[in-house]
Structure 1
Amino acid sequence: MDITQIFCDVDDFCNQWENLWQQIPQLPSTKGERRSKSRMCISEVITIIIAFHGSGYRTFKEFYTLHVLPSWREAFPNLVSYTRFVELMPSLRDATRRSLMLLCCFLHTRTGEITGISFIDSTPINVCHNCRAHAHKVFKGLVNWGKNSVGWHFGFKLHLIINDRGELLAFKLTPANVDDRKPVPEMTQDLIGKLFGDRGYISQKLFEELYERGLELITKSKKNMKNRLVKLIDKILLRKRAVIESVNDHLKNICQIEHSRHRSPFNFLVNLMASLVAYTYLPQKPSIDIYPKDLPALPPAIF
């Protein structure tokens, strides 16, 4: 990952945001309130958080103490100690209201191009081991039990839509017990073309709703369903749906979108957004090499 490119993008975005933020009326400070200003700006903090999720280090403490402090002094001359940096993550200049908002907004600027070919899937994000779910308190009231083809899991569910180049188009976080089809209409507001999903997205009502907006939902059929005619190119692209499974694998094993060390919901959301941003900067993303415009017209096939 190019740390210089990340910092330039983040800093430009933060400067634009700061100009807009100054135009919004602020609440007056209470009498005796102290607002200390850190020597590190918020764009530097966000850059380091994003860089961690693409670094390959398993813990942020190792990344900061073994890599950032010894090697990045010239790039970040105002570096603080690890303990102080951890304090800055949730508290830097009213970051409780702003840093998470900045990451969310910045992530939306990193979404990919709508190419007409999209893939949708969801992946579980466990917040603890199943055997400790009854005693879990950090996300109490925010998470729930869910079940997929692998088994039961306790936590959240991340819904993703990507294009054929592996670029993020839309995302949504829900409790693990939310049906995969529920967030689809909201996530696909701006999409057109074809949307490929697994059997969990089969719904005649959902298909008709999306089709009226110019988006065709294509899924595999269940064993108890009748055969239907589909275009051969759609059948080929449906077999390529595994590309989004590779994206989920990159998010979990490279960008570390899932771990059980969170101590607050805010910390979890900051790391989630930073992981998604870090993925957008990966030089090589899972993609497919087939484009309908490059293929001749093909007859429909029974599927």
Structure 2
Amino acid sequence: MNLDDFIITCFCLIDEMVPMMTKEQPLRARGPMPKLCDSEVITMEVVGSYLGLNQDSALFAYFQRHYTSFFPALAQLSRTTFVRQAANLWVVKERIWCWLRDAVIPYDPTISIVDSVPVPVCRFARVPWCVRFRGLASYGKDHVDRQTFYGFRLHAQISWTGLITRAFLAPANEADGVMAPVLLEGTTGVVLGDRNYCLPDRQAFLRSKGIALQAPFRKAHSPKAAAYQSSVLGRVRYRIDTVFGQLTDRCKIKRVWARDLWHVRNYLLRCLLMHSICFWFNQQQEVPPLQFDRLVV
């Protein structure tokens, strides 16, 4: 499909789901009704995330310049009003994402993969003077870029096919193994992780909950592990690296412009919603679900 068809398809899907998520109840108790309907705002956020427009100003300017024929009210709307309305809809986006995961997209919940990705909120050199997220964000290590960063870590669980099923935002200094019980609460089955999840005490606790957390052994534990374990697990859990690569390259989650958790939450949720919608579109067309580039030609 071309970009116009992609926008129309996303709008039809979202416009059908929004009343289901709100249970036909009005979202606003008082005040004037917005000029843009909520389905239009969420559609522009999803399509903007797909196109790599990670800044609200860039997203608003793009659609106001090229798609006022699709969204006529944009010509009479200010950017701040659009951004405020979009951020206020974070609960609706979360419900749509959960509904797609639980009721629409088929996947095997007994096999999953966990890992985390850095979410910097400030350039490292400016951290001493940065007042954003003070007391919430922290220092952490980005093992891919091999540098220290300031911000959060997005801990995620994906299905074997690559669907993001759970996500949890934590300060950057929280270790992956420590956050595993929080991320995996309420799940069962086999979960694959990297060496950061090789914590015998945590793995034993999760095993009592019906979760078999498999992770490559560390050097300290190598005498107790099978010789083939690390190499095999390293090969089969590559899919989460593909998902994080999409969130990093397409959605630019390593360059967050938000100034508070309210906007960070909205930004991450629209990225997760975009990923799930594109995943489902590919699944409907019976093509590899993570090949997003072939959706719009």
Is the structural similarity TM-score above 0.5? yes
1:7 aligned onto 2:11:
yes
Instruction: Give the 3-state SS of the residue equivalent to 1:174 in structure 2.
Output: strand
- Say which SS state the counterpart of residue 57 (structure 2) adopts: helix
Q: Does 1:102 align with 2:98?
A: no
1:115: Cα distance to partner? 4.3
Which structure 2 segments of 5+ residues have no match? 283-287, 292-297
1:1-303 maps to which residues of 2 (within 5 A)? Answer: 2-19=6-23, 21-22=25-26, 35-57=31-53, 59-66=55-62, 68-81=63-76, 84-91=78-85, 96=88, 99-111=89-101, 113-149=107-143, 150-228=146-224, 236-282=232-278, 283=282, 285-286=289-290
Distance 1:232 1:131 in 2: 42
Aligned twin of 1:297 = none
* Shift in CA distance, 118/238, structure 1 to aligned 2, threshold 3 Å: farther
Deviation at 1:199, TM superposition (A): 1.1
Structure 1 Cα separation of the partners of residues 82 and 64 of structure 2 = 16
Distance 2:227 2:52 in 1: 42
User: Alignment partner of 1:154: what SS?
Assistant: strand
SS of match in other structure, 1:160: strand
Deviations 1:247-283 (A, max 9, x none): 1111011122232422333222211111111122334
Residue identity matched to 1:48: M
Count how many residue pairs are aligned between Structure 1 and Structure 2.
273
Alpha-carbon shift at residue 137 of structure 1 (Å) = 1.6
Tell me: CA distance 1:255–1:148, structure 2 relative to 1, closer, same or farther (3 Å): closer
1:80-134 per-position Cα deviation (integer Å, ceiling 9, x unaligned):
45x6143233247xx64xx111122222123352343211101111001111111
Distance 1:110 1:179 in 2: 29
Contact kept, 8 Å, 1:57 with 1:63, in 2: the verdict is yes
% same residue: 22
- Check whether the contact 1:255–1:278 (CA below 8 A) recurs between aligned residues: no
Using structure 2 for the length normalisation, give the TM-score. 0.80
Q: 1:130 to 1:120 in 2, by over 3 A?
A: same
Larger radius of gyration: 1
